[in-house]
Amino acid sequence: MPLLSSGLVIAGAYADKIRRTLFAQMRDYVRRDKAWGQRVAYAAAQLNRLLYSILVERLKIDKGDVVRVRIEYEIDEEKMEIRWKWDTLTIEAFRRVPQEEVDRVVKEFVSRAAEVSTAAVEYTLEKLGETFDGDVVYSVKLGDREVGAVIVTPVNNTLAVLKRGGVVEPTPAVFEKVKLEIQPGQTLEDAIKRTLATVIQTATHVSYDEAYKLINRIREAVQAKPMERVEVEEEA
């Protein structure tokens, strides 16, 4: 059974390393049929969503800490699916967290991995400004961290269009040309957050570099400074 191993990597870069490693292992499938590309990207996003819940939300791992992730998976060629063997997931965290605590948290999350790996993400927004033609640009945050940006065209009180958007956490992804329906009693920001929450299911899953470049192109539209970049070099 195939095994994905991230190797030693700084925690701030694990998502991109997971994606690149899985694509490397699945390259023969992708070469034979390009449709596999989206299936590989989706599987990587599922795993990264679960890892975000474990490493960031529960264990509070710092971006500069070092982690190593291992997990087995199955390939269903007929259905074109990658199925993670959640009960084989192991994580090593090289910081002042007892390994017993890491193991306990991993075991807890593995028991509901299918749910957590596709769960909604609770982003918040901060308005960065408006363009000369009326588009609105927001910074996207998870907690107190800037993780993305979106540019939106308001149409009326009940409709807007998310022209472009990108996030790098819990997994790098982009949105393009998404219709936003503003429900009675809700704001434009509520509609944006509702769409972003479905990042695992509806976004296009890309590399960290692709998402990061799009985010800063969006920010440039209102002359906002570039978002801080997480360096993705791996630890030796």
Give me the CATH number covering residue 19: 3.30.470.50
Domain final position from 72, 89, 116 = 116
128: in domain: yes
Examine the domain organization and report whether 13 and 111 are in the same domain.
yes
Residue 161 structural domain: 124-220
pTM value is 0.80
Same domain, 109 and 35: yes
Do 86 and 139 fall within a single domain? no
Number of domains in the chain: 2
Task: Return averaged pLDDT per consecutive 10 residues of the chain, 236 residues in all.
Answer: 93 92 95 93 96 92 90 94 96 81 88 88 95 94 92 94 94 94 93 93 92 96 89 47
Given 90, 116, 142, the domain boundary residue is 116
Q: Residue 15 corresponds to which tokens in the numbers above? A: 């998502």
Same domain, 161 and 111: no
Same domain, 10 and 112: yes
Residue 26 lies in a domain: yes
Domain boundary among 116, 135, 166: 116
Q: Which two tokens stand for residue 50?
A: 């679960």
Determine the pLDDT at residue 63: 84
Residue 236 counted as domain residue = no
One domain for residues 94 and 157: no
The total of other beta-carbon atoms located within 10 Å of residue 7's CB is 13
Cβ atoms 51, 17 nearer than 8 A: no
Q: Which residue has the tokens 């910074």?
A: 139
Q: Which of 68, 104, 97, 72 is nearest to 87 (CA)?
A: 72
